[in-house]
Amino acid sequence: MTGLEMLAVAAAGLAAGSINAVVGSGTLVTFPVLLAVGLPPVTATISNSLGLVLGNLTASLGYRRELAGQRGLLLRLLPASVLGALTGAFLLLTLPASSFEAIVPTLVGLAVVLVAVQPLVQRVLARRRAVDAPPQRLGPGRMAALFAGAYATGSYGGYFAASQGVLQIGVFGLLLRESLQRLNAIKNVLTLAVNAVAAAAYVVVATDRVDWLAAGLVAAGSLLGGHVGARFGRRLPAPVLRTAIVVLGCVAIAVLLTR
């Protein structure tokens, strides 16, 4: 990579770390940039997952106030997310690269749609509960649904991380009476677990498919971005941020289809 390309990758990591803390679609920033600097799609996905772990960590720490009282729920959902991450990583590493390249434009398109409709999802969720709803008892059926949702979104995140946070907020918001900020805190912790487990799997069994320079640059940017997003991201104009993500997602689809 040239110096300018390295700067672009680090800047994309910074933006992605900030976006992931607030929205959960940062991969739609880093993925097109990694493709643009010449990384193959699978290598870009693996290197991106490695790089975003530090941003997930700082974002989770930044939302620790909203995590109050949610330890028990997280301890029950984390195993499902971990199993899902391992499933997704296994699929990414065992399916042919040609399959991934064929599937990814569809996944990016799905992620773009999810980001675009997120305000509608949030309004629906807001109507279903009070902002400061009291804690609820989770019956076996609802707990099973939450476990299945954590596993499904973890599998998606282990295979291709774009907008897994949007999926998590949508799924958990339908099953939990929690404010959107508290749902976002749950999302940040589970995304951290998914990305960390998937990254560990990649390092162990697919070291040759990691671009360490790209992963390091994304990590450096996302480390700061996660902190910035958790502290200041709520002040950003949501329509501007969402529009930028959708545009970048469309760019990623165009790049993938013209490779």
CA distances from 72 to 59, 135, 166, 202, 217 (A): 20, 12, 22, 29, 35
**Ordered DSSP codes for 41-75:** HHHHHHHHHHHHHHHHHHHHHHTTTTTTT-HHHHH
- Predicted pLDDT of residue 121: 67
The answer to whether the beta carbons of residues 97 and 39 sit under 8 Å apart is no
Reported as a single tens digit per residue, the pLDDT across 83-133 is 999 999 898 888 887 777 777 777 777 767 766 776 776 677 666 655 444
Chain center to CA of 40: 20
Section 34-55 average pLDDT:
90
Asked if residues 221 and 30 have their Cβ atoms less than 8 Å apart, the reply is no
Q: What is the pLDDT of residues 145-202, one digit of tens each?
A: 889 989 988 998 888 877 777 778 777 877 777 776 787 788 889 999 998 998 898 8
Predicted local confidence at residue 71, as pLDDT:
85
Sequence ranges of the domains in the chain: 3-257
pLDDT digits (tens, 9 = 90+) for 193-252: 998 998 898 888 888 889 999 999 999 999 998 888 777 755 656 676 667 667 766 776
Letter for the amino acid at 75? Answer: L
What is this structure's pTM?
0.77
- The pLDDT tens digits of the residues spanning 13-30 come to 998 888 888 777 788 889
